[in-house]
Amino acid sequence: MKEITVQAQRDHIMSLCTASPIQALSELIWNALDADALDVKVDVIQNELGGIDAIRVSDDGLGINAFEADSQFGNLGGSWKKDAVKTQVSGRVLHGRKGRGRFKAFSLGNHVAWRTTMLTDAGLRSFVLAGEAANPGSFTLEEVGTGPAAGTEVVVAHITNPMGSLLDAGWAVQQLASHFALYLKAYPNVRIYFQGLLVNPVIVQRANQSYHLKASDGSRAELQVIEWKSRQGRSKIVFCNADGFALHEVDAAVRPGSGFNYTAYLVSARFVPLHEENLLVLEDLHPEVKAFLDATRDLLRQHFRDRREALTAELLQQWHEDEVYPYSGKATTAAEKTRRTHFETCALLFRSYSDNFDSLSQIEKRLIFTLLRESLDADPERAFSILGDVLNLSDKKRKELQKLTAPAKAKA
């Protein structure tokens, strides 16, 4: 057994061992992809009580070169990827080059073991590299029985930190899909699995729109707005290099309205030097970064104005086709148009606050809409008040509803 000691200060190494569960898994997946893996599988191993015993990330890549473990594991920045830009076999763009990502594994559990098999002139040879969170600057290397094929299996054990989020496979797939969306789009032959579920951004996307963005200072970038089918936390603007690798992310600070969940990817080679100079993290404090953020947010506001209008038109058309819309024919008077405006506003609002409205049957939708129409026709103000109470609307949203009856009162 061989001992490998990382040449760096302990406090610096410890600072690299912190990450959220998804961030840590993403780094392990990136390491697999950088080793030319085509299939990467993440498995959460549970015990009989439903807790997590271990987390395993396995791949079919080239494996870790154990003969260069001293430089690859023993030096920060000593990775073979330092001077490379493409993977060794398939020529895919590399993600990491500084050898720091592996330390994120210690944020998942106290013991991490890399069982790796590599192809040598003498055939396949397997090794185990292992380390402990208590001393992340020290690793052991041992040759073991030969594996069936090249690749690496990372097993994180002695789980101590809260990892309950990883038990929600749907949520985890959504998060990983968001993180690897542009990479998987660029390399469609790559497959990532979480608990047997394929991480496919297309499946979890509602829409995908690209824009050419020009900031106020003349700088240019591509903006890709991906809307997700399910909630995934706060929407983000992600700065990416020209190949779509995430460098830094910020809160999008653009609220698109209920029903929309999205990630905005800003793609440009210009972000690499800004990232290397730690300028992206300054966000609104750096003029060039601020110019990109301002332009992006303006475009996002326009994007979602257009999307809301389009979605509204699509929904109303669908309700007519499904024969659940409670009015027939065209509105011929101002009063009829007003009643339909009241109904459509309330119906769309009710749908946006319901988790399963679209899955209701035709009869159920028709009943709800008929009752809503009758209530609005009888007393719009009272109907708005009831809707506000049932949906627990904010004061701002209630005032918006109240404005709908203001024109009618003024005419009276």
Give CA angle at 399 (394, 400), nearest 5°.
Answer: 100
Alpha helices per DSSP H over 111-267: 169-186, 201-204
| Highest mean pLDDT of the ranges 25-29, 68-72, 184-188, 200-204 | 25-29
How much is the mean pLDDT over the chain?
Answer: 88
- Is 90 among the domain residues? yes
> Torsion angle, CA of 404/407/408/412, rounded to 10 degrees?
150
Q: What residues make up the domain containing 347?
A: 322-411
Res 323: pLDDT: 94
- Check whether residue 243 and residue 390 sit in a common domain: no
Residue type at 242 in one-letter notation: A
Q: What percent of the chain has pLDDT over 90?
A: 54
- Answer whether residue 173 is part of any domain: no
Same domain, 342 and 293: no
Same-domain status, 46 and 119: yes
How confident is the model over 130-152, as a mean pLDDT? Answer: 91
Q: Tens of pLDDT along 381-397?
A: 899 899 889 988 888 88
- Has residue 187 been placed in a domain? no
**From the centroid of its chain, how far is CA 258?**
18
pLDDT at 50: 84
Minimum mean pLDDT range among 211-225, 305-319, 333-347, 398-412: 398-412
pLDDT at 80 over 70: no
Is the pLDDT at 412 greater than 50? The verdict is no
Task: Examine residue 176 and state whether it is found in any structural domain, yes or no.
Answer: no
Task: Identify the H or E element spanning 342.
Answer: helix 334-353
Strand arrangement of the beta sheet that strand 191-194 belongs to: 2-5, 135-144, 123-132, 111-120, 151-157, 52-59, 39-46, 191-194, 197-198
Domain limit, last residue, from 113, 144, 167 = 167
Residue 58 near residue 154 (C-beta atoms within 8 A): yes
Q: How far apart are CA 303 and CA 385, in angstroms?
A: 31
Please give the angle made by the CA atoms of 274, 11 and 19, to the nearest 5 degrees.
60
Residues 341 and 394 reside in one and the same domain: yes
CA-based radius of gyration for the chain: 27
Domain-ending residue, one of 167, 185, 213: 167
Amino acid type, 7: Q
Which CATH number characterizes residue 122's domain? 3.30.565.10
Residue whose tokens read 């609220």: 255
Query: CA distances (Å), 202 to each of 142, 184, 229, in order?
Result: 41, 10, 10
- Whether residue 252 is found in the same domain as residue 391: no
- pLDDT tens digits, 286-305: 999 999 999 999 999 999 99
pLDDT at 181 over 80: yes
Model confidence pLDDT, tens digit, residues 89-138:
888 888 765 567 788 999 999 999 999 999 998 899 999 999 999 998 89
CB 314 within 8 A of CB 321: no
**Residue 181 located in a structural domain:** no
Same structural domain, 132 and 212 = no
Over residues 256-281, the mean pLDDT reads 89
3-state secondary structure of 300: helix
Cβ–Cβ under 8 Å, residues 113 and 102: no
Q: 40 and 57 in contact (C-beta within 8 Å)?
A: yes
The pLDDT value recorded for residue 77 is 54
Residue 291 pLDDT: 92
| Domain count for the chain | 3
